[in-house]
Structure 1
């Protein structure tokens, strides 16, 4: 049974997943609907929290900037492989591209054989979306597990909602949140992380360890101790955030 989620505080640090949390999931990654109301809400939360807001996504920073227009906002992209801090400085984990490029060729051939599958090549990570052909989920899972050898290539398979992603091991949304939390304006605050997917569980675990509020959106088993019903519930909860007095931005 999930605990009742308290009203948001301007003294907390906010980490928000994007797809399925702030915006509704779409059939393909390019079909998402980013409305002006969301953009306004992000701006308000950033202001009222004294800048202690970061988006934590599997999308790349370039993709987030293009779709959200929030080029100055702290963000972590590609599940923590890249991160932009509150000063606009970029931090990237260096990885060898050789294994990923080899696997990308195999996955391109796979999507040619099964047109309903969508390959999302993000550079350092690869995602296969099977939302259009859910019956192929188990097949895709078996196929990708044959491609990944964590002990030798340093990669891991990350399941999501009708998607499977190949990414570097040991770097995730949880490590991204931990990196943000050791620097102002996040440092010393109680962290809140809201997410909806299996990819967010690493973040929930870190936030639980830090004594914060891990919030799962929707149904399903989770490490999160709190829950919100859907995207609309997330937005409604965030709108209740009062202003932080005495903060100069």
Structure 2
């Protein structure tokens, strides 16, 4: 079943020309899609527009068949679409536990259960629950950002620049969590500049160049032969 469907989505900042044009993208439940492309190709703009942080200039975004109102982040979250932005957007002065509690959609026993389930993915955070988010390491902050998203029980999880500022060994420890989230039924879209890392966890890769899709392929096929990906990045037919 399709979890996320973008049809003709056009996006950009302000009144200037759009940097994403007529994007058609569908992601199924349980599928991980790597959204790739050169710097400035529209990847982050695509995610922030899907998440309602940026109004669309055209087209539609649907979660589970229900259309999301343009530029309405609350409606996107209520529909089950959750974004982990590249800056992680943590409340740095609040503790790990407080960041998670703020994200929990319910209070009481259910809230505790959601937090416990999210932390199960990142055991290293259990001893850091009373530590301010700003005092966590970069890897711990990324774990917290993802755990906070999981507390919201997303149907669609969007991750922008997962590996930014992190050592490869830390990223490799996080990737299996994304697979676990997808296996539980969520759709996952990941923007990641490190091609090999992205392809190692994704089922499918979608390449944007100048705001348009120029290549869609099975991730394992691209990992085995990078030639089509290299040509797409270089703008060659």
Shorter chain as denominator, the TM-score bin is: 0.3 to 0.5
Structure (1/2) with the larger strand percentage: 2
Normalised by the length of structure 1, the TM-score is 0.32
